[in-house]
Amino acid sequence: MPTEHHFTDSAEAAADIAIRIATTLEQAIATRGVATLALSGGRSPRPVLESLSASLSDWRKVIVTLVDERWVDPTDPDSNEKLVRDTLLQGPAAAARFVPMKNAAADAYLGQPAAEADFAALPWPLDIILLGMGDDGHTASLFPQAKELDEGLSSSALTIAVTPPAAPHQRLSLTAHAILSSRHIFLQISGAAKKTVYDRAIAGGPVEELPIRVALCQDAVPVEVWISQ
């Protein structure tokens, strides 16, 4: 079962996540000389990343990458790479090594092999994977009803190309295998609608119905959830 942190205010939750990430990264650096952090996109992470940017003293030993990416140019407002570069990788945090998902391939399916090689070269398990969740229970880009969902849940690969059934852009996503190849999973849940889905997810059921169950319905990797209204 996940460890829950409850907040009335999502900004306070975001600040607390940033502190928890910074502390965990510092411990990883002290132990292994390097720390790895994979970030989700969307709206929720923005305040976390803005707070985190100033929360660590030495970013030179941190590898930052993505949980998933929309297959758009990194200058596109929908790009998760753009989100991370504009919020986290500023000031001292610009010294971190960033490993993107998007490459020059024309689409996510053509780009997946090169991205897979880039991700295979990372020092697994990653230290922290920060997940979000959609109102449909998706996480990363593992969407219910997506034609690639079963493969994303069962593959031994690290990445998979996905065409979301009802969200813009082709995606490249970490697979369930990659998400569970981490030392810590952190999850942000804000608002009543997501809390309802979260409660359904932790009650158990088919992972295909609510893919967030990949993280929530397992005990191999410690999961911490920040829940705010």
Ligand X SMILES: O=C(O)[C@H](O)[C@@H](O)[C@H](O)[C@H](O)COP(=O)(O)O
Contact between 42 and ligand X per CB under 6 A: yes
Contact between 132 and ligand X per CB under 6 A: yes
Number of residues that bind ligand X (CB under 6 A): 14
Q: Among the candidate windows 39-47, 48-56, 210-218, 221-229, which touches ligand X by CB under 6 A?
A: 39-47
Is the distance from CB of 165 to CB of 145 less than 8 angstroms?
yes
Contact between 43 and ligand X per CB under 6 A: yes
Closest-CA residue to 211 (of 224, 221, 201): 201
Contact between 139 and ligand X per CB under 6 A: yes
- Rank residues 61 and 71 by Cβ distance to ligand X and give the closer one: 71
CA distance 196 to 67: 23
Q: What is the phi/psi pair of residue 68, to 5°?
A: -160, 170
- As measured in angstroms, the least distance from the Cβ of 43 to ligand X is 3
How many angstroms separate the Cα of 228 from the Cα of each of 5, 21, 83, 96, 187?
A: 8, 18, 22, 29, 11
Q: Which of 18, 101, 129, 140 contacts ligand X by CB under 6 A?
A: 140
- Rank residues 41 and 144 by Cβ distance to ligand X and give the closer one: 41
- As measured in angstroms, the least distance from the Cβ of 136 to ligand X is 9
Closest-CA residue to 160 (of 57, 68, 62, 74): 68
Residue with tokens 């997506």: 146
Q: Among the candidate windows 20-28, 100-108, 136-144, 154-162, which touches ligand X by CB under 6 A?
A: 136-144
113 DSSP assignment: H
Q: Among the candidate windows 85-93, 98-106, 137-145, 212-220, which touches ligand X by CB under 6 A?
A: 137-145
Tokens of 105: 């391939």
Residues lying near ligand X in the complex (CB under 6 A): 40-44, 67-68, 80, 132-134, 138-140
